[in-house]
Amino acid sequence: MTHIPAVTLNDGFSFPELGLGTYNLRGAEGTAAIQTAVDAGYRLLDSAVNYENEAEVGEAVRGSSVARDDLLVASKVPGRSHGRAEAVASVESSLRAMRLDYLDLELIHWPNPSVGKYVDTWRGLIDARERGLVRSIGVSNFTEAMLSELIDATGVVPAVNQVELHPYFPQAALRAFHAEHGIRTESWSPLARRTELLTEQLIQELAVVHAVTPTQLVLRWHVQLDSTAIPKSSDPDRQRENADLFTFSLTDDQVAAISALERGRLWDGDPLTHEEM
């Protein structure tokens, strides 16, 4: 089992430097895959109302040999639940679905700017935290301007912003904003969903230099960007591979060279225009 190091969020809670993405992990197979990941050392499980797998995540947690307090369960408020009261109700619904007493992290899944309720929704997550339903609160797919709006309106800084982040889309400006404001970056689609990224010549060459796999090289890049990657894998061997990142390190030049692969988003997931209900 790999020990995955942790950092401290701006609210004082510990947060792993790597987590498990659970998008498309459903049914008995999904529960089993989540449990093998926990057995491999993963402690952070990233779910969402819209993944339709909260029951599986909850079952994996309750059936795990690892104590609940040592696991971090995250979910996300869907766009259809934007609003102060609606956000609290969404958290309560997730707790019922998971059969858990609290969530470790709750995120606003997409800002949906045309709806105009993400500040109210943020107030709802603040309420949920004050009621003890959730330990840390954050957002996903928020821009610098949206983050500033939340902070100015409520005085509460999100603990986490989960965003598309991989060598094709390194988000340097957003990560600098996060660092300035004490917001933990979390990388979704950190492997670029296994596109040609892993076959890039630079990735292949650096993997040989460090005697690791291309996937491990990419995930180590996330670690050294101070971002918590949440790679999804259904396969136990690949889950173990993805977690084995903490016995080597990249030089600053190698990190910069990987970041220079930048070419843009995987698809049209621009938070200013892409909205999900």
Ligand X SMILES: NC(=O)C1=CN([C@@H]2O[C@H](COP(=O)(O)OP(=O)(O)OC[C@H]3O[C@@H](n4cnc5c(N)ncnc54)[C@H](OP(=O)(O)O)[C@@H]3O)[C@@H](O)[C@H]2O)C=CC1
* 242 binds ligand X per the rule CB under 6 A: yes
* 275 binds ligand LYEC3VGP per the rule CB under 6 A: no
Min dist CB 23 to ligand LYEC3VGP, Å, is 4
Q: Which of 13, 23, 102, 246 binds ligand LYEC3VGP (CB under 6 A)?
A: 23
* 197 binds ligand LYEC3VGP per the rule CB under 6 A: no
Active-site annotation holds for 118: no
Binding residues among 87-126 for ligand X as defined by CB under 6 A: 109
Residue 41 vs residues 12, 160, 228, 242: alpha-carbon distances, Å: 22, 21, 15, 11
Query: What CA–CA distance (Å, rounded) separates 24 from 44?
Result: 16
Nearest CA among 76, 11, 13 for reference residue 43: 13
- Contact status, residue 96 vs residue 130, Cβ threshold 8 Å: no
* 48 binds ligand LYEC3VGP per the rule CB under 6 A: yes
3-state secondary structure 113-124: CCCCCHHHHHHH
Residue 194 binds which one of ligand LYEC3VGP, ligand X, none, with CB within 5 to 8 A depending on kind? ligand X
Nearest CA among 60, 147, 140 for reference residue 108: 140
* 276 binds ligand LYEC3VGP per the rule CB under 6 A: yes
* 143 binds ligand X per the rule CB under 6 A: no
Pairing verdict, β 14-16 and 6-8: antiparallel
Question: Would you please indicate which residues are annotated as catalytic (active-site) residues?
Answer: 51
Chain residues binding ligand X by CB under 6 A are: 21-23, 46, 109, 140-141, 162, 188-194, 215, 230-235, 238, 241-242
